[in-house]
Structure 1
Amino acid sequence: MKGCKRNPFSAFFFILTLFSNLLLAQTNSSQIDFFSPQNRLKFGDYLFREQDYLRAINEYQEYLKIANNDTARFKFAFALAEMGRETEALDNYKGLFFSSPLNEGARLEFYKINFQQGDFVRFRDLCTEKIYLPENSDLIIQKLNRFSYLLDDNLLPDSAAFVDVFDQGEKEQVLNFYMRKKFPPYKSPLTAAVLSAIIPGAGKIYTGNYGDGITAFLLTGILSFLAYDNFKADHDFRGWLFTGLAVMFYSGNVYGSVASTQIYNVGIKFHFENEVKIYLNEKKYFLNKYDFLNR
């Protein structure tokens, strides 16, 4: 059977066409300036929406060297804050405080960052002196002001004055935080010491360390019994040896019970403050959502 004849010119024209298309594509791509201001801005916005704040910062930074764009600067500051570069974020937000349509949001973010930095006395001073206070968001700042008292050791205001700025749906949880802050379920080191002095291990059981408490009770009891038994059998050396060990464990049990209350109380404070911070994060620090951040 005869094979099909191939046209040598068809293969030549196919290769020629393929080469021309590749050359044209390369020429078109070389004409695209990926590092132009507009392309940097588009790429920065894409990275921002993907929450890739680290790379978005680089794109916005290069763009803002050339152009002045309030939305880009706001996003730049927001990304800096998310990456923990709070001082730089504050400086950029300040650049929007005057004559910018985004000044209200920038001032709110300024207060939010100052709150997150944890110097609550300074934060309350800002609120009192109304430094860069947002004109239309005074209620939000008052709410953050109240929460600052839950996260430091200053005296709490009156409960009625504390909750009056919150919405009806928020008051129950806020009042719960207030009462737990005012009356924390701390354990008394003195009570723990007295309990362990009377019954070895009782102080640790008082703080919820049941395993350590039972161990302390058994060891102290066994060593005391061995000391008594050896003295009774006229084995004075072993009697004094076990007496010394019993006294050592007894004293350690009392000291350990006091230390246990301190650890317990630190845990209570840590978990309380963590709950408050989780609540604030869920509430977005009472700030309104910025629609332009998703564009």
Structure 2
Amino acid sequence: MTAFTLALLVVFFFSTANCSFSETAEFPEKLFQFAESLFREAEYYRAITEYKRFISYYPENQLAETAVYQIGNCYFQAEKWDEAIKSFEDFNEKHPESPLVKDTLQKMGEGYLKKGDKENSKKIFDLINEKYPKDEAGNKAKISLGTLYLEHHEWNKASEVFSRVEERSRYKTLADRLIQGSKEAERLPGKSPVLAGTLSALIPGAGQLYTGRRLDSLVAFLLNGVFILGAVESFNKNIYVAGGILSFFELGWYSGNIYNAISDAHKYNRDTRRRFIEELKINSNLSDNLSLKKGPIIFSYRIEF
């Protein structure tokens, strides 16, 4: 073998090895970025599969921590609250010192809130305030906790929590708006269930008219009127069996008329509060300020080998 041929073989060997090493070294980043692209496209379940594949192949890679976080984030964006909470809990156990813990706790609290689990949501937001009392994460948690009280119509508690947002916080202006809204909520007009029931007891349908349900009021008035008139006429004509039957059915209609009037008053009050809270959230740009569902949190890294 000539020296020239030997030199060619050596060059070919090292160039092939270098190419192979380069492709191997770049693959983790490519796999992670593929998962990220699926996340950006809202292909959350496919993204979860790729993040899990990345963690399985490269558990010691510096991006593995982010991949674990992003699995929970995928569930959160897909509004799978139970899966998101469980995933974030796993993340916090594996990476308790990660700076992402603030975000996982916030999203856990929001997840419980979306599920209607007031107790656990409050525990999480209280934990954030305890762990990060001087951090924006704590101020953000105060906004979320106060909103929780708002949605349960606990206006004074909501105001008290909002008032604890620090002056220097970027959430202070939002907190002030929500405090004002909480005070206005206490003065919302409402309908008295007792008065509604009493009115319908005196004049069938009057309670429904009081709560703004005009058609229901007319139906209740006519229906009860027909049965009462029929029963009276039957008794006047000594048709006691027919009068008894009509009276029996009228008792049911009459009781239902009172019950419906009371229910309509409660429904009126619930709807009034719900609309007010929704308008308050919109006017305060609450979702944009908290920005948990505004868009995905994307992590981009460049790894040099």
AA paired with 1:210? R
- Return closer, same or farther for 1:185/1:194 CA change in 2, 3 Å cut-off: same
Q: Equivalent residue for 1:162?
A: 162
Q: Does 1:205 align with 2:237?
A: no
Q: Does 1:38 align with 2:38?
A: no
Post-superposition Cα deviations, 1:142-179, rounded to whole Å, max 9, x if no partner, equal 3233323213465724847735734436633x145413
Q: Does 1:148 align with 2:148?
A: yes
Unmatched runs of 5 consecutive residues or more in structure 1? 1-31
Q: Pick the aligned partner of 1:282 from 288, 291, 297.
A: 288
Q: Equivalent residue for 2:256?
A: 252
Post-superposition Cα deviations, 1:106-144, rounded to whole Å, max 9, x if no partner, equal 41332232233133431343145x136684544323323
Post-superposition Cα deviations, 1:184-224, rounded to whole Å, max 9, x if no partner, equal 54433211110101110111222332222111101111222
Q: Equivalent residue for 1:126?
A: 127
Unmatched runs of 5 consecutive residues or more in structure 2? 1-22, 114-119, 166-170
Q: Equivalent residue for 1:82?
A: 77
Secondary structure of the 2:146 match is helix
| Corresponding pairs, count | 257
AA paired with 2:200? S
- Return closer, same or farther for 1:94/1:267 CA change in 2, 3 Å cut-off: farther
- State the 1:293 CA deviation: 3.7
> Distance between the aligned counterparts of 2:292 and 2:36, measured in 1?
25
Post-superposition Cα deviations, 1:61-82, rounded to whole Å, max 9, x if no partner, equal 1112213314434433322332
AA paired with 1:37? P
Asked whether the 8 Å contact 1:115–1:123 carries over to 2, the reply is no
Asked whether the 8 Å contact 2:88–2:104 carries over to 1, the reply is no
Q: Does 1:229 align with 2:233?
A: yes
TM-score by length of 2: 0.67
Q: Does 1:217 align with 2:221?
A: yes
Q: Does 1:68 align with 2:74?
A: no
Secondary structure of the 1:117 match is helix
- Return closer, same or farther for 1:57/1:179 CA change in 2, 3 Å cut-off: same
AA paired with 1:284? L
Q: Equivalent residue for 2:242?
A: 238
TM-score by length of 1: 0.69
Asked whether the 8 Å contact 1:140–1:286 carries over to 2, the reply is no
Secondary structure of the 2:131 match is coil
- State the 1:274 CA deviation: 5.5
- Return closer, same or farther for 1:139/1:252 CA change in 2, 3 Å cut-off: closer
- State the 1:56 CA deviation: 0.7
Secondary structure of the 1:51 match is coil
Q: Equivalent residue for 1:49?
A: 40
> Distance between the aligned counterparts of 1:120 and 1:273, measured in 2?
19
Q: In percent, how many aligned pairs have the same letter?
A: 24
Q: Equivalent residue for 2:91?
A: 92
Post-superposition Cα deviations, 1:4-57, rounded to whole Å, max 9, x if no partner, equal xxxxxxxxxxxxxxxxxxxxxxxxxxxx89x95333212112101112111111
Flag the structure with larger Rg: 1
Q: Equivalent residue for 1:111?
A: 106
* Worse-superposed segment, 249-258 or 192-201: 249-258
AA paired with 2:226? I
Secondary structure of the 2:156 match is coil
- Return closer, same or farther for 1:74/1:158 CA change in 2, 3 Å cut-off: closer
Asked whether the 8 Å contact 2:220–2:257 carries over to 1, the reply is yes
- Return closer, same or farther for 1:277/1:61 CA change in 2, 3 Å cut-off: farther
> Distance between the aligned counterparts of 1:214 and 1:198, measured in 2?
15
> Distance between the aligned counterparts of 1:288 and 1:257, measured in 2?
41
Post-superposition Cα deviations, 1:89-114, rounded to whole Å, max 9, x if no partner, equal 2322554442x5xx1x4413322322
* Worse-superposed segment, 177-186 or 207-216: 177-186
> Distance between the aligned counterparts of 1:168 and 1:203, measured in 2?
42
Asked whether the 8 Å contact 1:280–1:286 carries over to 2, the reply is no
Asked whether the 8 Å contact 2:205–2:257 carries over to 1, the reply is yes
> Distance between the aligned counterparts of 1:287 and 1:260, measured in 2?
34
RMSD: 3.7
Asked whether the 8 Å contact 2:102–2:128 carries over to 1, the reply is no
